[in-house]
Amino acid sequence: MNQWAFVVAAYGVTAAGTAIMSFVSWRTMRRAETAAEALPGRA
Amino acid sequence: MHRFANPARFLKIARPLTGWLFWPGLLLLIAGAACGLWLTPADYLQGDTVRILYIHVPAAWLGMGGWTGIALAALMQLVWRHPLAGVAGRAIAAPGALFTAICLATGSIWGRPTWGTWWEWDGRMTSMLVLFFLYLGYIALANASARQGQAAGQGGVSTVTAIFGLVGAVNIPIINRSVVWWNSLHQGPSITLRGSSIDGSLLWPLGLTLLGFTLWFAAIVLMRMRAILAQNKVEARMQRLARG
Amino acid sequence: MKAKHQRLILALAALVAITGAGLLAVSALRDEAAYFYAPGDVKTKGVEPGKAIRLGGMVVKGSLKRAPDGVTIRFDVTDGKATVPATFSGIAPDLFKEGSGVVAEGAFDGKGVFVATNLLAKHDERYMPRELEGMNYNETTHEMKTER
């Protein structure tokens, strides 16, 4: 099989994992911090 | 370190630091990967598949470095009762597990064209798979203790979870030395204290991806720590309201 | 003594004990966890014919020969201490070549020939561009391991 097929597969797996982890971590942080800021009164 | 025990003080530094780590890290790892894909020569023996090196090695480093971080956080939690240690341990677990999985996946994809197999139970691969299962165990334990509201003052990481994190660190030197102690299909270490057996013309993008992935990983850990701290704040307020 | 110091000593003692136990277990497993037998191991320990094992070593330069049937290959595997003849019928991986590493799955026949049912190529820790192939390897900075 073409060597590049393996290279592309490996980089693809890594890129997908990195992108998903970035997005999920950012979204979780954003939601949690928004909820914390919306708390009434002083902490 | 106890200067950062106060979450407000920690957040004051963590908020701007997150972006300062994330974007340079992402830029460096993309640049390193691009250089590794298009600028470096192919290997004399493996040809172009050698390019998997530039992501496989950082993934292995982050998988093992992540557990080292969990073990250090566990030590700080158990000994110094540092209030952020548990938060840090929990924040490291998911990206650490992801990169252990990426290391296994890219290694498998690399093994097929070079060795002629997707998977073999040799020392290096088996010990790395054990690390992945350790991560899953840690995540399950930490989630359980956080959900039950145990160890609220320890970032949701119960003492048992922290001990698990500390004990699991035994696997790290085993992974590192597995190719030296045992006959293995995986080759020996390329980069040692004596130097590198990777020619300089192939080696340099690895420095970029290693640094880039490390900065990016630190940014992800900060994001997840910030999320846990904010969630804790909301939960603490809810409980205070419920109690009236 | 402060409670903090007690906990520190306790944690470190536990860590040392666990590491020691782990390393002890690993060293006890040393032979069992070996992924393959080297020809030198075969010579010293002896492997009975018909027992399924993996044999790993270097393919001796000049020993690779193709049988008249076109699918069977014969080659010698060495680790510097002993040399074992081997045969294999089938498709070898691309990286399988003379002077390179191999891990063969199979068993010895009655005449001391290793009959492989599967071949895996094992490469060493060196990576370099094609132009550098065959140039003198700098043995002072990073030696080639002789045990493989």
**A19 shares contact with chain B (CB less than 8 Å):** no
Over its C-alpha atoms, chain A yields an Rg (Å, rounded) of: 19
Instruction: Say if residue C43's pLDDT is above 60.
Output: yes
Q: Which residues in chain C touch residue B206, judged by CB atoms under 8 angstroms apart?
A: none
d(CA C41, CA C81): 9
Residues of the domain holding C7: 1-33
Residue type, B151: A
Give the Cα separation of B128 and B135 in Å (integer): 11
Distance between B23 CA and the closest CA of chain C, angstroms: 31
Contact B113 A3 (CB under 8 A): yes
Residue C74: which CATH number?
A: 2.40.50.140
* Cα of B231 to nearest chain C Cα, Å: 29
Average pLDDT over residues B1-8: 71
Nearest chain C residue to B125 by CA distance is: C35
Bin C6: left if φ > 0, else alpha if -120 < ψ < 50, else beta.
Answer: alpha
The average confidence (pLDDT) of chain C is 80
ipTM score assigned to the predicted complex: 0.91
Contacts of B79 in chain C (CB under 8 A): 4, 7-8, 11
Considering the domain architecture, whether residues C22 and C61 belong to the same structural domain is answered as no
Nearest to B116 among C33, C34, C121 (CB): C121
- Cβ-Cβ contacts under 8 Å between B and C: the total is 132
Q: How far is C87 from chain B (nearest CA, A)?
A: 17
Given a cut of 90, is residue B211 above it in pLDDT? yes
CB of A8 within 8 Å of a chain B CB? The answer is no
Q: In chain A, what residues touch B220 (CB-CB under 8 Å)?
A: 21-22, 25
Question: Is A10 near chain B, with CB under 8 Å?
Answer: yes
> Do the Cβ atoms of B37 and A1 come within 8 Å?
no
Residue B37 to residue A11, Cβ atoms within 8 A: yes
B12 close to A (CB below 8 A)? no
Q: What is the DSSP string of chain B?
A: -GGGGSHHHHHHHHHHHHHHHHHHHHHHHHHHHHHHHHTSPPBTTTBGGGGGHHHHHHHHHHHHHHHHHHHHHHHHHHHH--TTHHHHHHHHHHHHHHHHHHHHHHHHHHHHHHTS-S----HHHHHHHHHHHHHHHHHHHHHHHHHTTTTGGGTT--HHHHHHHHHHTTHHHHHHHHHHHS--SS---SEETTEESB-HHHHHHHHHHHHHHHHHHHHHHHHHHHHHHHHHHHHHHHHHHHH-
Q: What is the pLDDT of residue C133?
A: 64
Q: Is the pLDDT of residue A40 over 90?
A: no
Q: Which residue has the tokens 């093992």?
A: B64
Q: Does B15 touch chain A (CB under 8 A)?
A: no
Token duo for residue B97: 């597990």
Look at the alpha carbons of B173, B194, C127, C73 in this order and tell me if their dihedral is positive or negative: negative
CB atoms within 10 A of CB B158: 19
CA dihedral (B116, B122, B125, B130) in degrees, to 10, reads 150
Tell whether C77 and C128 lie within a shared domain: yes
The whole-angstrom separation of Cα B174 and Cα C2 is: 34
Tokens representing residue B171 in the block: 């696997």
Same domain for C15 and C71: no
What pLDDT, on the 0 to 100 scale, is given for residue C48? 85
Please give the distance of CA B25 from its chain centroid, rounded to a whole number. 15
Partner B contacted by C37 (CB < 8 A) = yes
Q: How many CB atoms lie within 10 A of CB B234?
A: 16
Q: What's the sign of the alpha-carbon dihedral C114, C120, C126, C129?
A: positive
> Do C71 and C100 fall within a single domain?
yes
User: Read out DSSP for B70-82?
Assistant: HHHHHHHHHHH--
Tens digits of residue pLDDT in B56-94: 999 999 999 999 999 999 999 988 888 899 999 999 999
Residue to test with chain C: of B45, B78, B110, B134, most C Cβ within 10 A: B45
The token duo for B105 is 């996946």
Mean pLDDT, chain B, as a whole number? 90
Residue C81 resides in a domain: yes
The alpha carbon of C104 is separated from its chain's Cα centroid by a whole number of angstroms, namely: 10
Domain ranges of chain B: 18-184+201-243
Cβ–Cβ of B188/C123 closer than 8 Å? no
Q: Which residues of B touch C88 (CB under 8 A)?
A: none
* C44 and C61 housed in the same domain: yes
Quick one: C49 and C111 in the same domain? yes
Chain B residues closer than 8 Å to C95 by CB: 45-46, 114-116
Does B233 have pLDDT greater than 60? yes
Q: Residues for chain C: how many in total? A: 148
Tokens of C118: 């599967």
Please tell me the distance from the alpha carbon of residue C80 to that of residue C144, in angstroms, as a whole number: 13
The arithmetic mean of pLDDT across residues B10-29, rounded, is: 94
- Rounded CA separation C41/C28 (Å): 17
Is C140 part of any domain?
Answer: no
| A18 at interface of B, judged by CB pairs closer than 8 A | yes
Query: pLDDT band for position C148 (50/70/90)?
Result: very low
Q: Give the pLDDT of residue B224.
A: 96
A19 φ/ψ sector (left φ>0, alpha ψ -120 to 50, else beta) = alpha
**Per-residue pLDDT tens for C61-85?**
888 888 888 788 999 999 888 899 9
Higher model confidence: residue C134 or residue C28?
C28
Residue C1 has pLDDT above 70, yes or no: no
- Give the β-pairing of C114-122 and C72-78: unpaired
Distance between CA A2 and CA B165 in Å, rounded? Answer: 42
- List the 217-236 stretch of B: residues with Cβ below 8 A of A: 220, 223-224, 226-228, 230-231, 233-234
In a domain? residue C142: no
Contact with chain A for residue B128, Cβ under 8 A: no
Are B199 and C36 inside 8 Å of each other by CB?
Answer: no
Q: What is the DSSP code (8-state) at residue A25?
A: H
Per the CB < 8 Å rule, is B237 touching A9?
no
What chains are in contact with A, requiring at least 3 Cβ pairs below 8 Å? B
Same domain, C47 and C61: yes
pLDDT band at B110 (very low <50, low <70, confident <90, very high): very high
pLDDT for the residue B133: 96
> Domain check: are C80 and C109 in the same one?
yes
Question: Does residue C112 share a domain with residue C47?
Answer: yes
Domain total in chain C: 2
Chain B residues inside the 8 Å CB shell of C120: 115-117, 120, 185
Look at residue A1 in the predicted model and tell me its pLDDT. Answer: 55
Residue C101 lies in a domain: yes
For residue C11, is it within any domain?
A: yes
Distance (Å, whole) CA B62 – CA B217 = 8
- Are A10 and B105 an interchain contact pair (Cβ–Cβ within 8 Å)? yes
